[in-house]
Chains A and B, each alone.
Chain A
Amino acid sequence: MKIMTRILIILAAALVVVGATVIFTNSTLAAKVMPGLSDGHRPEMGEFSPDEANFSRSGDGRPTHSLSEDGFRGDGRHDSRFSLFPTLKNLAVIVIIILAVIIVERLINLLKRRTKQPPAAPQGTE
């Protein structure tokens, strides 16, 4: 029962975030943050503005998509070829952030230790 209550609390918090996201995407602020995406015009995935390059288009002006062998759309949303590189890149980003934080943390500790050191007792005062 206790776990169920906690799960419901987590889901309720998630629902608040989802609600805020939906409100945000329908707001005028979203139009400023995501120009061209939220100003009343919501293009379908893969839809491009007319001034964008040479895509083959169907009669109604929408770009036509051909399915690749494995069923993925060739609209640039995702490259269907297997690649380990993006995952390694993500891992590298995380490693760089960890190293940066550890270095900053150590520098702060070093500075704290230096500033906390008591001043040397004056000599010859006895």
Chain B
Amino acid sequence: MKTDSPTKKKRSPTKINFVIDLSIFIAFLVAMDPRLTGMAIHEWLSIAFGTAVIVHLLLHWKWIIATTRRAFGKIAAQARINYILNILLFIAMTIIIFTGLMISEVALPGLTIQLQPNAAWRFLHSFSADAVLIIVGLHVALHWKWIVNAFRRYIVRPVLPTRIKMKQEEVHA
């Protein structure tokens, strides 16, 4: 008997990771400076960014657990650097989001939550923002090969054949 059950196409985890990571990176760049978006978008996008970071961590949970177990034993130098860098990035991201909430001018007052902002939170917010920028640069650099491969696989390859086809059609026409 023939069954016509629709076969579910399993999505590649690498593709999901690439799309989410690319979105996080773009959101990071946009949220980094309120002059680009205005304060309201800066604050709400940064709060959403916190959720995206949690999703990013959940997607790489196996790596986190495996590397944490091996971190104090024998491990490649690059993996150790990467692990330490990721911890620093998590700490800096948490501080930037927390201090951002503490000095919030739009998001929290909009929810009728009034906090007493002070210069210390603001100093930490600016300091951790600078730190995050450098750590993100190092984080991207350490994963550069993966990013280039994923970019070729999911963006260049699917786009290029259609462009070549279109050019061929133009020539034939």
Q: A interface vs B, CB < 8 Å?
A: 3, 6-7, 10-11, 13-14, 17-18, 21, 25, 30, 34, 37-38, 42-45, 47, 70, 72, 77-84, 86-87, 90-91, 93-94, 96-98, 100-102
Q: How far is the CA of A37 from the CA of B94 in the complex (A)?
A: 21
Inter-chain contacts of B35 with A (CB < 8 A) = 78-83, 86
User: Are A21 and B103 neighbours in the complex by a CB distance under 8 Å?
Assistant: no
User: Are A6 and B117 neighbours in the complex by a CB distance under 8 Å?
Assistant: no
User: Are B141 and A6 neighbours in the complex by a CB distance under 8 Å?
Assistant: no
Contact with A along B56-79 (1 / 0, CB 8 A): 011001000000000000000000
Contact with A along B113-145 (1 / 0, CB 8 A): 000011111111000000001101110111010
Q: How far is the CA of A45 from the CA of B33 in the complex (A)?
A: 18
17 A-B pairs, CB-CB below 8 angstroms? A17-B94, A18-B98, A21-B99, A38-B120, A42-B119, A44-B117, A45-B117, A78-B39, A83-B33, A90-B32, A94-B140, A97-B140, A97-B141, A98-B141, A101-B141, A101-B142, A102-B141
Asked if B90 CB lies within 8 Å of chain A CBs, one says yes
Q: How far is the CA of A84 from the CA of B119 in the complex (A)?
A: 26
In the assembled complex, the CB of B57 is this many whole angstroms from the nearest CB of chain A, namely: 5
In the assembled complex, the CB of B3 is this many whole angstroms from the nearest CB of chain A, namely: 31
Number of A-B contacts (CB under 8 A): 107
Asked if B13 CB lies within 8 Å of chain A CBs, one says no
Tell whether A17 pairs with B90 under 8 Å between CB atoms, given A10-B57, A42-B120, A70-B38: yes
User: Are B58 and A77 neighbours in the complex by a CB distance under 8 Å?
Assistant: no
Inter-chain contacts of A70 with B (CB < 8 A) = 38
User: Are B120 and A90 neighbours in the complex by a CB distance under 8 Å?
Assistant: no
User: Chain B: which residue is nearest A31 at the CB level?
Assistant: B120
Tell whether A30 pairs with B120 under 8 Å between CB atoms, given A78-B35, A93-B137: yes
Tell whether A93 pairs with B95 under 8 Å between CB atoms, given A17-B90, A78-B34: no
Asked if B166 CB lies within 8 Å of chain A CBs, one says no
Inter-chain contacts of B94 with A (CB < 8 A) = 13-14, 17-18, 21
Inter-chain contacts of B57 with A (CB < 8 A) = 6, 10
Inter-chain contacts of B141 with A (CB < 8 A) = 97-98, 100-102
Q: How far is the CA of A53 from the CA of B112 in the complex (A)?
A: 35
Q: How far is the CA of A13 from the CA of B93 in the complex (A)?
A: 12
Inter-chain contacts of A91 with B (CB < 8 A) = 29
